[in-house]
Amino acid sequence: MGKLDGKVAVITGGTSGMALAGAKLFVDEGAHVFISGRRKDALDEAVALIGRNVTGVQADSADLDDLDRLFATVKRDKGSIDVLWASAGTGEQGRLGEITEKQFDDAFSLNARGTLFTVQKALPLFNDGGSIFMTGSNASLRGYPDWSVYAASKAVLPAYARVWVSELRDRKIRVNVLTPGQVSSPMMESVMDAQLKAQFESVIPRREMGRPEEIASVALFLASDDSSYVNGMELVADGGTTVI
């Protein structure tokens, strides 16, 4: 028996990295998973890789019309949602003094605004007792130079969760934040030079970045009844980086 047998899960930004690893695991555990992303080729590849019980929807989580289309597809195909993992996120380095309006707007428009509307637009389809979680970042918990905009745009997520727990209590919908540390996803590999990678590794107790699968297993915990008494929390999976 799988931990998500018969469940419908929606994972935004699910064509790569941690969320793709999560989508694979959720399907292995019995769920039907909807994944979204902006690039059609990446979406098709991810759907082929997962192979079964998966639907790809090309959608930009910063675009409210795209979000409407994503949830219209879920409604048409499955009717309801049990699990939402709002994982689509973005960020780039920018030192105070050099931060551009575009960097600020891009980060906040996806991480803060897009995530809120993803949850809001999913809500009418949500089954009572469902699980919502959003991808945060331990950048918001530590003072990493050059990452203030990204850190701030992710710092809103635990605040959302705390309020929404109250607002959704009658429907028994749980809301949490999954907060990874440095994880060697394709996105990270493409933006890291050797110096940045060494800098990241130096702050991790085991001196090795996380793997997407190590976050996927935490996502499965939050998605399933294993976390039935975990609500309104920020679950940090960063190998201990934040506490040393």
Ligand X SMILES: NC(=O)c1ccc[n+]([C@@H]2O[C@H](COP(=O)([O-])OP(=O)(O)OC[C@H]3O[C@@H](n4cnc5c(N)ncnc54)[C@H](OP(=O)(O)O)[C@@H]3O)[C@@H](O)[C@H]2O)c1
Residues of this chain that interact with ligand X (CB under 6 A) are 12-13, 15-19, 36-39, 42, 60-62, 87-91, 110, 135, 137, 180, 182-183, 185-188
How many Cβ atoms sit within 10 Å of the Cβ of residue 193? 8
Give 157 or 168: the residue with its C-beta nearer to ligand X.
157
Instruction: Find all residues with CB under 8 Å of 115, minimum gap 6, and list them.
Output: 61, 86, 88, 89, 134, 157, 160
Q: Supply φ then ψ for residue 55, to 5 degrees.
A: -125, 130
Q: Minimum distance between the CB of residue 27 and ligand X, rounded to whole angstroms?
A: 16
Give 38 or 78: the residue with its C-beta nearer to ligand X.
38
Q: Minimum distance between the CB of residue 6 and ligand X, rounded to whole angstroms?
A: 26
Give 80 or 90: the residue with its C-beta nearer to ligand X.
90
Return the biggest CA–CA distance within the chain: 54
Give 99 or 204: the residue with its C-beta nearer to ligand X.
204
Q: Supply φ then ψ for residue 9, to 5 degrees.
A: -120, 145
Which residue number has the CB closest to ligand X?
A: 89
Q: Minimum distance between the CB of residue 51 and ligand X, rounded to whole angstroms?
A: 17
* Residue in the block written with tokens 């050797």: 194
| Spatial separation of the C-alpha atoms in residues 177 and 235, rounded to whole Å | 6
| Active-site position among 144, 150, 160, 229 | 150
> Does residue 222 contact residue 28 with C-beta atoms inside 8 Å?
no
Q: Supply φ then ψ for residue 126, to 5 degrees.
A: -75, 135
144 is catalytic: no
Give 14 or 166: the residue with its C-beta nearer to ligand X.
14
Q: Which residues, in sequence order, are bridge partners of residue 11?
A: 35, 85
Q: Minimum distance between the CB of residue 129 and ligand X, rounded to whole angstroms?
A: 25
Q: Supply φ then ψ for residue 58, to 5 degrees.
A: -75, 115
Q: Minimum distance between the CB of residue 73 and ligand X, rounded to whole angstroms?
A: 14
Q: Which residues are catalytic?
A: 150
